[in-house]
Amino acid sequence: MKKGFVLLFCLFCLLPMFGAGTKESAPSGLIELRFLGMAQAAYSEQNVNDMTADFMKAHPNIKVYTEFVPYEELRNKTLLAYGSNNSYDAVLVDDIWFTEYDSKGMLVDITADIPQSYRDGVLAGGWNFTTKKGKVVGLPWFLDTMYLFYNPTMLKAAGYATAPKSVEEMVEMGRALKAKNIVEYPFVFSLAQAEALICVYSNFLEAFGGSFQDAQGNYILDTSGVKALEFLVALKQEGLLNPNSLEYLEEDVRRVFSTGDAAFTLNWGYMYALASDPAESKLKKEDVAVMVLPGSKGVKESAAMSGSMGLSVLSKSKHPKEALQYILYLSSKEVQDTYSNLQLPVWTASYDDPAIQAGRTDLVAAAKKAFSIMNVRPSVPNYQEVSAIFQQHIQTALYGEKTPKQALSDAVQMVKGLK
């Protein structure tokens, strides 16, 4: 036992060592900001830290501490920290949370403080999701949608030279790919019980001409959304959809596509560069193509949903002016153009910039198209809970435990019962 205590004592003495190198107390005049971003996002943590380092160089009196959490924790952490006296100064906000945050009075109104050049230069769609009740409460940081990624090499091997023009044609291609043993499961989607599932579903909802709510804000998925869900269920039953999809998030889907185990998938723009990166993927550039999801024949030409994110200053920040400076910097044209290899900028002019377009004309073209037609998920303060209910019920239908119509009816019933 004596030996043990000596060991423990030594361990205990090591503790102060770990304290070295972290936060020293700030000299006077130094403003400290805390930023909460997303881990494993398009702008990688390294990217954001590099941007932050440049910002700090230009503003020697400001020090920014960045933290990154997975998407699933981002909202929780923001709310939890806000509820304490330890709020972040600036945070990354998903477009589905803006309504909720704003209704809770968490976001600073920055309408008056945005330079005109910003107003004019940023894509119109960007201001849509960051403006609530006429006030601008966030800066759009990236617009994103789930594109349809497909493998043209596989399609060619099955005899298809062009991209599918409709969802039905896409399924036909999938059937042919499976029949010819080119790939066992042509389709893989991120259908785990998470927001990613709603994004995928929402894309197909658009494709079949459905919508979450009617003009009065009532949920109509039990009628309008059945076709899209039946489509997904049929894909699974026919053996065309990778059954592991029900466990997958975006990174898993990217991996499967990148190892050549899928021909079609839906994912965010960040996947484009990684899918042909030899360090991350077995595919070559000619094996990766991207387009906006085609719509159902006769119903729609293309479909897209909005998965954008913005930067906001929280109302409990002690340095709102500096925080605004920081987020204006992060979303400025120069910074976005520099780091645009994984994420497209929000500036209109950038889309015509040959440097940005280089090597990914199809992505840029698809982005331009998607951003002009994309539809949003319900903008309600309790979206988090609504989405959780839909996720659960859609999964129930995918597991075959309920028919799509029954699952959606139950879901809408439950959502109606929320206060």
| Torsion sign, CA atoms 189, 191, 194, 197 | positive
Total of chain residues touching other proteins, rule CB under 8 A:
65
Q: Does 82 bind other proteins (CB under 8 A)?
A: yes
Residue 159 as a binder of other proteins (CB under 8 A): the answer is: no
Closer Cβ to other proteins, 68 or 371, answer by number: 68
172 in contact with other proteins (CB under 8 A): no
18 lies in the binding site for other proteins (CB under 8 A): yes
The CA distance from 99 to 76, in Å, is: 15
Q: Which is nearer to other proteins, 28 or 85 (CB)?
A: 85
Is 255 one of the binding residues for other proteins (CB under 8 A)? yes
User: Contact letters (x/-) for other proteins, 303-342, by CB under 8 A?
Assistant: ----------------------------------------
Q: Which of 26, 70, 159, 285 binds other proteins (CB under 8 A)?
A: 70
Minimum CB separation of residue 29 from other proteins in Å reads 20
CB of 395 to other proteins, least distance (A): 4
Q: Which amino acid is at 336?
A: Q
Tell whether residue 385 is a contact of other proteins (CB under 8 A): yes
Q: How far is the CB of 251 from other proteins (least distance, A)?
A: 5
CB nearer to other proteins: give 72 or 214. Answer: 72
Q: Residues 32, 54, 65, 121: which binds other proteins (CB under 8 A)?
A: 65
Q: Does residue number 76 form part of the binding site for other proteins (CB under 8 A)?
A: yes
Q: Comparing C-alpha atoms, which of 366, 371, 212, 368 is closest to residue 294? A: 366
By CB under 8 A, tell whether 39 contacts other proteins. Answer: yes
Interacting residue with other proteins among 10, 27, 29, 85 (CB under 8 A): 85
- Which CB, 357 or 379, lies closer to other proteins? 379
Binder of other proteins out of 25, 28, 57, 84 (CB under 8 A): 84
Structure tokens at 342: 């994984």
The verdict on 81 binding other proteins (CB under 8 A) reads yes
CB of 168 to other proteins, least distance (A): 28
Nearest residue (CB) to other proteins, 11 versus 112: 11
Separation of alpha carbons 252 and 275, rounded Å:
12
Among 115, 217, 243, 359, binds other proteins (CB under 8 A): 243
Interface residue with other proteins among 32, 54, 67, 301 (CB under 8 A) is 67
Give the shortest CB-81-to-other proteins separation in angstroms.
5
Region near other proteins per CB under 8 A, out of 45-53, 113-121, 203-211, 370-378: 45-53
Which listed residue (131, 379, 395, 406) binds other proteins by CB under 8 A? 395
The answer to whether 143 and 308 have CB atoms below 8 angstroms apart is yes
Question: Are the C-beta atoms of 61 and 28 separated by less than 8 Å?
Answer: no
Contacts with other proteins, residue ranges (CB under 8 A): 1, 3-5, 7, 11-12, 14-15, 18-19, 21-23, 34, 39-40, 45, 49, 52, 65-67, 69-73, 76-77, 79-86, 104, 192-194, 243-244, 246-252, 254-256, 259, 261, 382, 384-385, 388, 392, 395-396, 399, 401
